[in-house]
Structure 1
Amino acid sequence: MSAPPRKIELSPKVIAAIAAAVLALVVAAVAITVRVEHRRHGHDREAGHEEHDGHQHGEKEGAHGDGHDGDHDHDHDNDRAEKHAPDEPGEAHAHGDRLKLSPAMIQNAGLEMLTAGPGNVAVTVTLPGEVALNAEAIAHVTPRVPGTAREVKKQLGDTVTRGEVLAVLDSRELAELQRELLAAKERLSLAEASFTRHEALWKERISAEKEYLAARQAVAEARIEHRSAAQKLSAAAGSGAGKGTGYALVAPIDGTIIEKHIAIGEVLKEDTQVFVIADLSTIWVNVTVYAKDLSRARIGQTAWVKAEGIEQSAQGTLAYLGQVVDEQSRSAVARVVLQSPGAAWRPGLFATADIAVEEAAAPVVVSDEAIQRVEGKDVVFVEEGDGFEARPVKIGRRGTSGVALAAEGAGGGPAAEPRRGAPVVEIEAGVAAGERYVGKNSFILKAELGKSEAGHQH
């Protein structure tokens, strides 16, 4: 027969000790669980940082264990950073000086891709100036005789052609001159008829020679009076003389009406400036040349002019250089002539003119917009694979280009219109001919690079 089971009896002290031990184990388990979750949460927050942050995290974790544990944490952080690399539109990812943008961000940023290559760098002198009318292509229309405006046919801003009627006046003075001309014409007709009769009688020996000579003199005087009356009328009315008292004001040149001082019924004097017509196909830009630049400025040099509010520059020629220097400003006045610059170039706008005083060939030139300043260095964002590298460069001469810079839109689209007179920079080192780089809007890449560096510091 088997022995009966033994009963284990625990004293109250033993039971209390067992309960305390179980409670301690539960508390320890909870603490370990909280610590593990905290470490996992910290890893998740640091996984979005750059590769440099992953190195720092690995070193800190390795400090609490052996070298193998530190290496394992370092690899683990790098794997997490790669999994969280920005693949979404509008995000950028940087590795050192190399920047990768998503295709959507490149498109939205409107980056202009250019190709570095040889070109001419025109060293320029920048001079302040003001857009002005071509003083040699302005006409002032005034009534040569006093009158009252009967009709106004043209208004301010209208384009007119030479000989076109601008307004019609009624003039008593003109009517008087026309009356004098008619009277002189009648007297001439009577004198000619009298002379013809006396000449026939004299030839037939019927009348005396004295009467014949008197008739011939009367004809000569009548012709003089008629010619004088016609000249007075012509001088007063010119081609504007009409029938009766009407007097037409006509355009003397082709151009645009830029001033108008006439209204129907207005009484005008002979010196009233009724219309001002300007030929705007050519305009002047009067610039100030300081004493230090006078020796380099020459008539015939090319100039690129920019005016406030006008994005596109205009190319012109230095046509005049003053020979007298102002005593107060110690500067001379020069004139740049622009041919057909467009309606946006209005007289009175402030402008700056880049006068090309020297031109030299350079093996590699880039757009001036491509140069950015990063950490105290001049850099150009050069296309490298699917990203852009902030390439440090050594720059030479700055100026403007007389040749075209072939531009492409974001994503290598069709070439844009060639840009002449664009600011360019000679590259002595850092970018080779044929490499593609970012021209317009390159500052966006600089900003994205700065964001990435700020993330590293954080």
Structure 2
Amino acid sequence: MQLIKQLSLILVASCLAISPLQAAEEQHDESQAEAKGPHGGILLQQNDATVELQIFEQGVPPEYRAWVTRDGRAVTDDIDLNVQLTRLGGQVDTFDFAYQGDYWLGDGVVTEPHSFDVEVILAMDGKNYRWHWESHEGRTRIAPAIAQKAGITTAVAGPGAIERSLTTYGSLTTAPQQIARIRARFPGVVSQVKVNLGDRVERGDVLAQVESNESLQTYALRAPIDGIVIERRISNGEMAGEQPLFAIADLTTLWAEFKVFPGQRAEVAIAQKVRLKADGIEREGTIRHLLPAPSNAPYTLARVEVDNAEGLLTPGLLVAGDIVVETVEAPLVVDNRALQSFRDWTVVFIQVDDTYEIRPLELGRSDGNLTEVLGGLQAGDRYVVENSYLIKADIEKSGASHDH
């Protein structure tokens, strides 16, 4: 955690550091568009021409409105007004204007984020007027070396499979065929017990020595399988008869038995994928069997084989399972780790070279790992996946504005 904090400080410091040349350029660009007009828009002036340009978004999708004057008098016809917005990544949005009785209206929606390089071109009375400035928001720069140290990783947006699942609950158990019970071959006295409960044994290991009552010779009881001793019912000096003396369980594979109730049964089938979680440990498996519940209980048991080669799971643990009942191919998805809240939006941060910027998203279906994107992102966009919160923190620290 301390390392992440340190990297965050380095990241923020590096992104806020700019050269004197950059500072001069930014001041120059902003000076062209810092004045405000009577309608609250950006005031652009050149010789006898003045354009006030505003992004209006009260009760309507964001749209451009403009007021044009020549020598202080309103111009209502015979002009050609054009705005071009160049976004991060090279996309260009173009707006032409028509007079609406009180203002000039741009022909389209100014989509979020309102972060772009702006070029305004006005043709009036045979003269051309041009203004250009940067209007960036939700954007920051991070050197590649700093991004790597901070653990920032990216992915390319594209199609993916959204899985619809239903959640069930059950417990882990051991299959009967994975438990071996060991008895004495001949009745006799146990002269030595070599294992205890919980010991791991391999096939052929000696469990105990028994002295036969008939031959008075000692023979060994050996483990018939690899596994863990889960029962020991004998001690030194006791008589071994027909009762089981040891039980050994192979726990490298367990079984999850989930309760599937009548309202779920129609969607559940053998071979469906299941994502399991028990005691904080996650596994994947498939439904191998569907069995009636014992004692005529009102549910079906869905049995899933669970890999336990590392021995982290034990029989009896409660387990939750998400059974994948439908898979839908979506044309555009993002990794859920990339999603962040920003203002009133859910966003991802796209990357172009060493620049990162918000992309507010319209989202569709989700399965907990991937989420469908309905708008706000393009296939092929590279977006931040891991540690995207560091990008958010840096943008918020820089005081990204939403001022038009």
TM-score by length of 2: 0.58
The counterpart of 1:170, out of the listed 207, 211, 231, is 211
SS in 2 for 1:119: strand
Counterpart amino acid of residue 207 in structure 2? L
Per-residue displacement from partner, 1:135-192 (whole Å, max 9, x unpaired)? 331112233665432233445432312x5432111243xx1xx5xxxxxxxxxxxxxx
Counterpart of 1:432 in structure 2 is: 378
Residues 112 and 129 of structure 1, relative CA distance in 2, 3 Å threshold? farther
Counterpart amino acid of residue 384 in structure 1? V
The answer on whether the counterparts of 2:201 and 2:223 sit within 8 Å (CA) in structure 1 is no
Per-residue displacement from partner, 1:401-436 (whole Å, max 9, x unpaired)? xxxxxxxxxxxxxxxxxxxxxx22222222222222
Counterpart of 1:316 in structure 2 is: 285
Residues 101 and 131 of structure 1, relative CA distance in 2, 3 Å threshold? farther
Q: Hey, which of these two has a bigger chunk of helix by percent?
A: 1
Structure-2 separation of matches of 1:373 and 1:324:
45
Q: Which has the larger radius of gyration?
A: 1
SS in 1 for 2:390: helix
The answer on whether the counterparts of 2:231 and 2:248 sit within 8 Å (CA) in structure 1 is no
Q: Tell me how far 1:337 sits from its aligned partner.
A: 0.9
Structure-2 separation of matches of 1:128 and 1:158:
30
The answer on whether the counterparts of 1:314 and 1:341 sit within 8 Å (CA) in structure 2 is no
Of stretches 429-438 and 346-355 in structure 1, the one that deviates more from structure 2 is: 346-355
Structure-1 separation of matches of 2:371 and 2:239:
60
Q: CA RMSD in A?
A: 3.8
Counterpart amino acid of residue 295 in structure 1? A
Q: Tell me how far 1:269 sits from its aligned partner.
A: 4.7
Q: Tell me how far 1:386 sits from its aligned partner.
A: 1.3
Counterpart amino acid of residue 314 in structure 1? R
> Any gaps of 5 or more consecutive residues in structure 2?
1-22, 36-42, 44-134
SS in 2 for 1:298: coil
Per-residue displacement from partner, 1:203-249 (whole Å, max 9, x unpaired)? xxxxxxxxxxxxxxxxxxxxxxxxxxxxxxxxxxxxxxxxx342432
Counterpart of 2:126 in structure 1 is: none
Per-residue displacement from partner, 1:324-357 (whole Å, max 9, x unpaired)? 49999x6543221124653333334443322110
Report % sequence identity: 33
Task: Select the structure with the greater relative contact order (CA < 8 A; seq sep ≥ 6).
Answer: 1
SS in 2 for 1:106: helix
Indicate whether 1:109 and 2:150 are aligned.
yes
Counterpart of 2:352 in structure 1 is: 384
Counterpart of 1:64 in structure 2 is: none
Of stretches 254-263 and 274-283 in structure 1, the one that deviates more from structure 2 is: 254-263
Counterpart of 1:396 in structure 2 is: 364
Counterpart of 1:157 in structure 2 is: 199
Structure-1 separation of matches of 2:207 and 2:314:
23
Counterpart amino acid of residue 168 in structure 1? Q
Tell me the matched-pair count. Answer: 277
Counterpart amino acid of residue 157 in structure 1? D
Counterpart of 1:124 in structure 2 is: 165
Counterpart amino acid of residue 308 in structure 1? D
Q: Hey, which of these two has a bigger chunk of strand by percent?
A: 2
Q: Tell me how far 1:385 sits from its aligned partner.
A: 3.0
Counterpart of 1:134 in structure 2 is: 175
SS in 2 for 1:299: coil
Counterpart of 2:236 in structure 1 is: 265
TM-score by length of 1: 0.51
Counterpart amino acid of residue 125 in structure 1? L
Counterpart amino acid of residue 251 in structure 1? A
